[in-house]
Amino acid sequence: MVSFKRVSMATLVLLLAGAGVQTVAAERSDSNTVKISFANNNDGNPGKDCTKELLWGTKGQFKLGDMECGNDNAYYFKVENMPAGAVLMLADSPSCDDDGNFYFKLRSAKHPFQMEWMKIQDLRTYAVGDQVKPGLKLLVKKGTGQIHGKLSCFRYEY
C-alpha cells in the first residue's frame, strides 16, 4: 500500500511539473521580446514611428533603410522590455561602424528597461559613463558630425 501511494504521488508530481513547464515556457516566450522604436518627426514630437521586435537573445544589426522609417529620417528612439546587460548601438554609418558622423553604444542596467521617446541628438550632451535615462548607460560616444535625422543603422545584442 505504501509503494502504491509513492507511485501515485510521483505520477501526480510529474504530471503537474509537465503542465507547469509548458505554462512557464509560453509565458517566457511572450515576455522575452525587446521593442526598439524610431520616429521620424523633427518638430518636437516623435510623429510616425517604426518598431523592430527582437528576442532577447538576438544579436544583429539592422538598417533603417529596410524599415518603414527609412534611412536618415529618424530623430527619436525608444526601448521597451530590454533586459539588463543588453547593448544597443546607434550609428549614421550604413554598416553600423563607429567611423561615421556619430556612433553611440548604450547598455541597460535595469531589468526590464523601458523608456519613452528620446531625441537621438541628445545623447551627445552626455559623457561616457553617464546614465542617459535611469537604467541606461552611455558606454561609447564617437563623432562630431550631424546627428539630427541621420540615423542609418542600429545593433542589438544580449
How large is the average pLDDT for residues 117-140? 97
Confidence check: pLDDT of 141 > 90: yes
What is the model's pLDDT at position 10? Answer: 40
What is the model's pLDDT at position 48? Answer: 78
- At 39-78, the pLDDT tens digits run 987 666 667 789 999 999 999 999 999 998 899 999 999 9
Least confident of 5-9, 35-39, 53-57: 5-9
CA distance 101 to 91: 8
Confidence check: pLDDT of 1 > 60: no
Of 56, 46, 47, 118, residue with least CA distance to 81 = 56
- At 69-121, the pLDDT tens digits run 899 999 999 999 999 999 999 999 999 999 889 999 999 999 999 999 999 99
Mean pLDDT comparison of 8-17, 76-85, 93-102, 143-152, highest-scoring range: 76-85
What is the model's pLDDT at position 3? Answer: 47
How large is the average pLDDT for residues 123-150? 96
What is the model's pLDDT at position 100? Answer: 86
Confidence check: pLDDT of 134 > 70: yes
How large is the average pLDDT for residues 140-147? 93
29 or 57: whose pLDDT is higher?
57
